[in-house]
Structures are given as C-alpha cells and as structure tokens.
Amino acid sequence: MSLIDYYGPQGWGSQSPPLRQRQHVATSLVTTVLSGRPEQPAAVLDVGCGDGTFLAHLASTVTGRDIRWIGVDYSEHQLARAAELPFEFHRCDLGEGIPLPDTSVDLVHAGEVIEHLYDPDRLLEECRRVLRPGGHLVLTTPNLQAWYNRALFLAGVQPIFYETSTRSTEVGAGALRRLKTDTMPVGHLRLFNRTALLDLLRREGFDPVTLRGAGFHGIPSAMAWLDAAMCRRPSLASILVVLAVKR
C-alpha cells in the first residue's frame, strides 16, 4: 500500500503557513546548541523539512557560522517547492531510513514528524545513527494529554490531534463536529504524552536535556490565553518540544 501524501497539492501542501510557536521554541533550542562551538563547521538536518521554510528561517537566524543545511521529506510536491532554496534536499521514506551516512550531522530537527509514522522507534534510531557523538535532537510533537484533551476524554469526545479516519476529522468529534467542517486529516498515527515521549527517547539512546511546551495555532482566540498559560507546564501544553543529546 502506498503512503498517503497529506502534504501534496490536494492536501495541506498547498498552504504556506507562518511559523508556529513550536517552531520559535525549537529555534531557540537550535540556536543555543549551535552557539556552543561557533568556530567549528556544522551540519544541520531537518527531518520532514516540507518546502524548506523552517530551514530557511534557521539559516537566517544562525549567522556567522559555516553550516551545511540538509532537508529530507517524503513529499515530492514539497521538495519541488524547496528546490529553489540553496540547501541540500533528499526524498526518502522515513520508514526505510535517512539517506545520510553514519555520524554525519551535528543536529537533527524533527518537527511534527514522529506522530505521522508507523514506526517511531525507527525514526529515532535513524536520527541517532546520523548524529555525531554528542549530537543533539530537537523534536516537537502534539501532546495527547494537552489540557483540553483531558477534558474532552472525560466528555466522550475524540482527543484533538488523534485521528481515527483518513477521510474525515468529524469522526468522534461529538459536539466539536461543527468546528471540523471542511477540515481534512493530517495523517497522525502515533501520539505521545510527556512520559511516553521521554521514555522512547531514552530507549533509543538519547538523554533528554530540556522539555518545553508550545501553544497550538488552532485554539479559538478566546482561549488562546489559557493555552499560553498551560505552556508553563509541558505535560499540559498543546505541543511538546524536547532537546535531547545522543548518548
């Protein structure tokens, strides 16, 4: 069975959204790591790079360093858009691996990728393989136990981010169905809470260093203040952002 390209021209791939809060949080972690040894060249890999927008953002943020910027993605549509950028891109199925040599990069960013994969262990295994000793991983993913999901679960409503249909987001939405009209699935297969994500990282040879929370852009504006407040406790935040080091 071929993989569904949710980010192709008929799906979310036609959009060019602004940078999300999770990406700003990830940027702060990436810049902190890369500022540690400014005199040395480095290689940064963006796993699930899409059209390369975030790589371009990082390159414009981290200046004065000799950095090799690399992106990998499954979507041919997204990579065709990324081809205009002066970076190195590769198409790959992450279930089969990352097409880079062992210990060839210093930092890996995997933003909103792990929840889309049948085999998340394989992703982390591959990230660890391509990282040099002491290399860093910055990973973001939706939080299954976000503050509102805890309430929705008790109300018998399917948690946000967790999809049970490949065709409709209204399945299981209950009273939230009206908010799902004209939306499409994004292809989430695995969701993590704080404990599960940190456990998996440790199991695959990473030591978590920092865990932060980030807000979700889809929260109604009237509740955005509450979502922002919950970011202070990552276990309740909409998005989990973790910095980990290769053991």
CATH code, domain carrying 225 = 3.40.50.150
Mean pLDDT, range 207-213, rounded to an integer: 98
pTM of the model: 0.92
Assigned domain for 167 exists: no
- Left if phi > 0, otherwise alpha if psi is -120 to 50, otherwise beta: which for 82? alpha
Query: What is the residue-wise DSSP string for 18-48?
Result: PPPHHHHHHHHHHHHHHTTSTTS-EEEEEET
Assigned domain for 236 exists: yes
Q: What is the pLDDT of residue 46?
A: 98
Interatomic CA distance for residues 214 and 234, integer angstroms: 8
Whether 204 shows a pLDDT value over 80: the answer reads: yes
Under 8 Å between Cβ of 50 and 110: no
Q: Which of 215, 202, 192 is nearest to 22 (CA)?
A: 215
* Residue 208 identity (one-letter amino acid): P
Name the band, by pLDDT with cuts 50, 70 and 90, for residue 11.
low
Cα 180 to Cα 5, 39, 145, 227: the distances in Å are 20, 49, 20, 19
Name the phi and psi angles at 110, rounded to 5.
Answer: -130, 90
Assigned domain for 17 exists: yes
Under 8 Å between Cβ of 159 and 147: no
Interatomic CA distance for residues 59 and 105, integer angstroms: 16
3-state secondary structure of 170: coil
Assigned domain for 65 exists: yes
Q: What is the pLDDT of residue 15?
A: 64
Interatomic CA distance for residues 186 and 188, integer angstroms: 6
As beta bridge partners, residue 71 has 46, 89
**Total structural domains within the chain:** 1
How is the chain split among helix, strand and coil, in percent rounded to 5? 35, 20, 45
Interatomic CA distance for residues 200 and 227, integer angstroms: 26
Angle of the 194-203 helix axis to the 120-130 helix axis, nearest 10: 50
Q: Which helix (H) or strand (E) holds 243?
A: strand 239-246
Assigned domain for 219 exists: yes
Q: Which of 153, 156, 161 is nearest to 192 (CA)?
A: 161
Name the band, by pLDDT with cuts 50, 70 and 90, for residue 65.
confident
Interatomic CA distance for residues 118 and 98, integer angstroms: 15
- Looking at per-residue pLDDT, the higher value among 182 and 55 belongs to 55
- Looking at per-residue pLDDT, the higher value among 186 and 213 belongs to 213
Domain that holds residue 134: 12-143+188-246
Assigned domain for 163 exists: no
Assigned domain for 3 exists: no
Assigned domain for 198 exists: yes
3-state secondary structure of 194: helix
Q: Token digits for 166?
A: 């490949």
Mean pLDDT, range 49-68, rounded to an integer: 94
